[in-house]
Every structure is written in C-alpha cells, then in structure tokens.
Structure 1
Amino acid sequence: MKIAFLGLGGMGSAMVRNLVKDGHTVVAWNRSYEPTKAINALGVAIERTPAEAAKEGDIAITMLADDAAVEAVTLGKDGIIEGLKEGAAHISMSTISVALSERLAKAHAERGQNYAAAPVFGRPEAAEAGKLFIAAGGDAELIDKIRPALEAMGQRVFVMGDQPAQANLVKLTGNFLITCVIESLAEAFALTAKGGVDTAKVFELLTETLFAAPVYKTYGALILDGKFSPPGFKMPLGLKDNRLLLQAAEKLEAPLPFASIVRDRFLAAIANGDGGLDWSAIAKRAAEDAGFEVK
C-alpha cells in the first residue's frame, strides 16, 4: 500500500518506521524540517506540501497535535484535500474533536474522497514497538482496506462504528478515563503517605492485585518516581483533550462531573509552571493539597 504520512512527531515518526518495516511505501510531510532527516534516511521521500504528499498515496494518514493543525493540513492552502485522488482516503489518527471529524467527513465526501478516523491509545514507547491500540470508525469496506496499515502500527484494531466521529468520541472518553486514574492514584498516594505508609508498598499492592491493568502500572510508576520529564504526552495536550471531551458531552447533554475536576487540575498545573511536563504531573496537585512538598 502506498501511504502519505503527515506529522513526524514522536508518535508519527515511530508509526512511519513500523509502516516501512512492514513493507509499505511511504512518503511524508512535516511542518518542521529536523524530524524529517531520520525518516528520509529510511528511504521515505519528504514532500514540500501536504497536497503533494497526499497525491502520492492510496491513503493519507495524519498524526498531528490538535484540531487547528489537522484542519490546516487537511483543508488549508495546499492541504490534503487538494491533492488526494478521488476514491483515495484520509485517515485521521490524531486526537481531535467530534465536530472536526464530522466536518472532515463531509468535506472529503464532497470531493469524492473517503475518510476514516483511527485515533490511537499508547505512549511513544508503544508506538515505537508497534503496540498501539487503535479505535477505528468509518465505512466497513474502507476499514477493511486500511486494516493492513493499521495493524502494522498497532497490536489490535477496534472498530467503534460506521461513523468516523464515533471513534473520536471513544478516544476522548478513553483519555478521560486515564486522567481519572492519574487523579485517583495521586489522591490515594497522598492519603496513605500522610498516614505514614510507604507509598511504594501501596503501589505494589494495588497494581499486583485489584488494579493490575497497564494504565495503573504505567502512571502509578510515573507518579511514584516523579518522572514527569521528558513528557510522553504534554500537559497542554491533556487539557485540550479534556476540553474537547466536555464540548462533546455538552452537545450530547451528558454531564461529566469528574471531567470538570480534572480540567481544574490541568489549569492549576499549568498556572503553577508545569505546562512543559507530562500530563501525569497533575498528580502533584493532590500531594500539595495534602501538605507535601513535591518535585
């Protein structure tokens, strides 16, 4: 399969490496030059504009930071929509809003192009290992067509529905649950530490019994070690995802009280100078509330 890949950040570059390793022909584009050098060394051609990259592919994959970036790269001047062939497909793997996903689906359909959403769960190390979990949404035939590419980047593909935006809603919901895990672990650690219990023992008990899921182990270890830098997922991106979740919930008239609590944790973290840290650093707020000095 010939693939145009747009967005060579920590996640995107790892995903491209796995596509190449799986035998796909890849061309790429990135807004800045530096990340393109290592990808070009793999034999991946680097195109000058998103449109030029897209015209080379059976599918064009975007892995970008936010709505603004995806909208500009797709619908802006020299965007994907201008270069993508009729019948070819844009696969958005970014974490974007439900509203933008719906708009992209409509815009591509008007051009005779296809569109699917396939946002991912997993940090950069999972992307490097090809172990992402992928939530896909879109026409069933299109999902079947792109499945080989998705499986080259992830360990399992979950089809959420025939509307691309359904996958985006699930992705935002999953990220919300991760932030609830971070917050609940932070509160549990703060409480037990203040009660004189070794937090490492609390972590061991929880993650080897009732809460043995990878998300508890991964984020529990980060909180326990205070390992918030370098960030695997930056704080402002966590706040962005929380905002998109609340927007979707408001439209659907579904109250999410915990999401509002998490939003305030993000705002407090950024206001206290933690904007450059991993999003798990919202855990510092629970320690501070309990009267601890934190790193």
Structure 2
Amino acid sequence: MKVGFIGLGNMGTPMAKNLADAGHELVVWNRTASKADPLKQQGARVAKTPAEAARDVEVVVSMLADDHAAEEAVLGKDGIVSALPKNAIHVSSSTISVALSERLTKAHTDAGQGYVSAPVFGRPEAAAGKQLWVVAAGPKAQVERVRPVLTALGRGLTELGERPSAANTVKLSGNFLIASMMEALSEAFALAEKCGVERAAFLDVFKSVFAKAPIFENYAGAIAKGQYSPAGFALRLGLKDVSLALEAGRAAEVPLPLASLLRDHFLTGVAQGRGDEDWSALGALAQERAGITKKG
C-alpha cells in the first residue's frame, strides 16, 4: 500500500521502518526533517508538510507526542485533513485525549475521509522488534482496509468496535494501569531500602515471587538500578497520559483517586527537571520522599 507516516520520534521511526520492511511504499514527515534520513535511505520519500505526506496515499499513519502536536498536524494549516484523498484513511496511533479523537473522527467524516484510532502498547525497543500490541477502533470496513498496516506494526491486534475514541479510552486506561504499577513498585522498593534491604536483593525476591509479565519485571529492574535514562517513555508524557485519563474519568463521572496522586507525583518530577527521564523515575521520587540518598 502507499502509506504516509507523520511523526518520527522514538516510537514513530521504528514503526515506519516496519512498514517499509513489510513492503509498503512510504512518504514520511517529521518536524525535524533530519530524523527522516534513515527512512530515506530505505527508499521513503520525505515530505515538507503533513499535507504533502497525506496527499495521494491510501493510508496515513500519525504517531505524535500529544494533543497539540496531533491537532496541528491533522487540522492545522497544511494538515492531513486538507489533503488526504476522499475515502483514504487516517490511522492515528498517537496517545491523545478522547475528546480530540472524537473531533478528528468528525473532521475526517465531514471531509469524506476515513478515521481509525489505533494506539499501541510497547516501548521503542518493542516497536523496533515488532512486538507492539495494537488496539484499534473504527468502522469495520475501514479497519479491514488498514489491517495490512496494523499487522505490520506489531505482534497482535485487538479490535474495539466502531467508535474510534474507544481505542483511546483503552490506551489511557492501560497507561494509567502501568503508571499505578510503577508507583506501587517505587513505594515498595523505597520501604524495603529504608528498612535496610538492598534494592538488588528485593529485586531478586520480586522476580522469584511476583514477576509474571515482562513489563512488570522491566520496570522493577529500572527502579532497582535507578536507571532512568535514556527514556523509553518520558516522565512528562506520563504526566500527559495520566492527566488525560483523569479528564476522561471526569467526563464519564468515574472517580480515579490514584490517578490524581500519580498526576501530582509526575508533576513533581517534571518540576524537579526530570521530565525527560523515563517515567519509571517515579522510583527516584519515592526514594527522595523516604529520605534515601540517591543511588545509581
């Protein structure tokens, strides 16, 4: 298929590479044009605007950092909506708000274009290894049309019905779950360490008794080692996602008290200059609250 790809950050670049490896013809755009160089070497054409990347394609995929970037790239001047052919489909893999997803659905529908929301679970290394899990929602016929693109991005796909924003709700709920898990891990490690137990020893117990899934074990390892850079997923993005989960909860009248606590802890990290560290730097904040001297 002829595919446009918007956003070549830590996640977007390996995702676009997987599409190229799967034989799709790519035209790519990124605000910092030099990030497109590796894909250019694979034969991708580099566009100067999101509109140019969306023009004359069957599918355009976007993977952008937040609502502001997504809104500008889709609805702004020279945005996707202005150029995507009628009946072509925008696949949004960005982690954005439910409200923006609903706005994008309407904008594409009004323009005679398709829209499928397909955020992904996984870090950059999972994207590079084609191990992402895709959650997709949108009109069934449109999801079927873009299935070759979705399956090229990861190891599996869950379909969530015909309302695109449902996929955003699931993504935000999942990221809230991960953030909650990291907060619990961080507090447990801080308690053990403050009581004289070495982090490495507690990690060994954790792996032997509690670890059932790689995601849990990986974050426990990062917290135990105090290894928060380079960031696979930045702490400031954790703040953004938990804030969006709270926004969705407020709209649906669902109290999320732990999410409120997590938001404040993420905000503390950003205020302390940790925004570009991995979001598992919650572990460092827990140590500081416990009066533990920073290690590692």
TM-score category of the 2 structures, normalised to the smaller one: over 0.9
Partner of 2:65: 65
C-alpha offsets along residues 109-130 of structure 1, whole Å, 9 cap, x if unaligned? 0011010100011110000011
Once residues 270 and 109 of structure 2 are traced to their aligned partners in structure 1, the CA distance between those partners, rounded to angstroms, is 39
2:265 is aligned with 1:265: yes
* 1:80-119 matches, cutoff 5 A: 80-119=80-119
The alpha carbon displacement at 1:275 in A equals: 1.7
Residue of structure 2 equivalent to 1:194: 194
**Which moved further from structure 2: 15-24 or 193-202?**
193-202
- What's the secondary structure of 1:27's corresponding residue? strand
Any conservation in 1 of the 2:222–2:280 contact (CA below 8 Å)? yes
Alpha-carbon separation, structure 1, partners of 2:237 and 2:256? 19
1:205 aligns with 205
Assess if the C-alpha contact under 8 Å between 1:186 and 1:286 holds in 2.
yes
How far residue 79 of structure 1 moved from its aligned partner, in angstroms, is 0.8
CA contact (8 A) 2:137 2:163 kept: yes
Q: Distance in 2 between matches of 1:31 and 1:270?
A: 24
Does structure 2 retain, via aligned residues, the 8 Å contact 1:135–1:157? yes
Deviations for 1:191-247, whole angstroms, at most 9, x for unmatched residues? 112222232232222233333211211101111111111111111111111111111
Q: Is the 8 A contact 1:236 1:275 kept in 2?
A: yes
2:279 is the counterpart of 1:279: yes
Partner of 1:158: 158
- Letter of the 1:128 partner, please give it: A
Which residue does 2:8 correspond to in 1? Answer: 8
2:36 is matched with which residue? Answer: 36
Query: Structure 1 runs of 4+ off > 4 angstroms?
Result: none
SS at match of 1:188: helix
Residue 35 of structure 1 aligns to a residue in which SS? helix
SS in 1 for 2:4: strand
SS at match of 1:57: coil
TM-score (norm 1): 0.97
SS at match of 1:116: strand
Q: C-alpha distance in 1, partners of 2:200/2:138?
A: 44
Question: Secondary structure, in 3 states, of the residue corresponding to 1:3?
Answer: strand
How large is the Cα RMSD of the aligned pairs?
1.1
Residue 56 of structure 1: CA displacement?
Answer: 2.6
What is the CA distance between 1:161 and its match in structure 2? 2.1
Alignment of 1:53 onto 2:53: yes
Partners of 1:56 and 1:237 lie apart in 2 by 32
Superposition deviation, residue 273 in structure 1: 2.0
Q: In the alignment, is the contact (CA less than 8 A) between 2:226 and 2:283 conserved in 1? A: no
Unaligned runs of 5+ in 2: none
C-alpha distance in 1, partners of 2:195/2:291? 12
Please name the residue that 1:142 is paired with: 142
Distance 2:236 2:189 in 1: 24
- The answer to whether residue 76 in structure 2 is matched with residue 76 in structure 1 is yes
Report if the CA contact (8 A) 1:207-1:216 is conserved: no
Measured in 1, the distance between the counterparts of 2:94 and 2:271 equals 26
Which amino acid is 1:262 matched to? L
Using the alignment, how far apart are the partners of 1:187 and 1:143 within structure 2?
Answer: 41
Partner in structure 2 of residue 246 of structure 1: 246
**Equivalent-residue separation in structure 1 for 2:274 and 2:46 (angstroms):** 34
SS of equivalent to 2:33: coil
- Structure 2 letter corresponding to 1:163: R
User: For 1:25-56, what per-residue CA distance to the aligned partner results, in whole angstroms no more than 9, with x for missing partners?
Assistant: 11111111110111111100001111111113
Structure 1 gaps, min length 5: none
Q: Deviations over 1:108-153 (max 9, x none)?
A: 0001101010001111000001110111111112112111111111
Q: Distance in 2 between matches of 1:169 and 1:21?
A: 30
Report sequence identity in percent. Answer: 47
Paired positions, count: 295
The AA in structure 1 aligned to 2:20 is: V
Q: Distance in 2 between matches of 1:227 and 1:116?
A: 36
Determine whether 1:292 maps to 2:292. Answer: yes
What is the Cα deviation at residue 24 of structure 1?
Answer: 0.9
Return the alpha-carbon distance in structure 2 between the equivalents of residues 208 and 166 of structure 1. Answer: 36
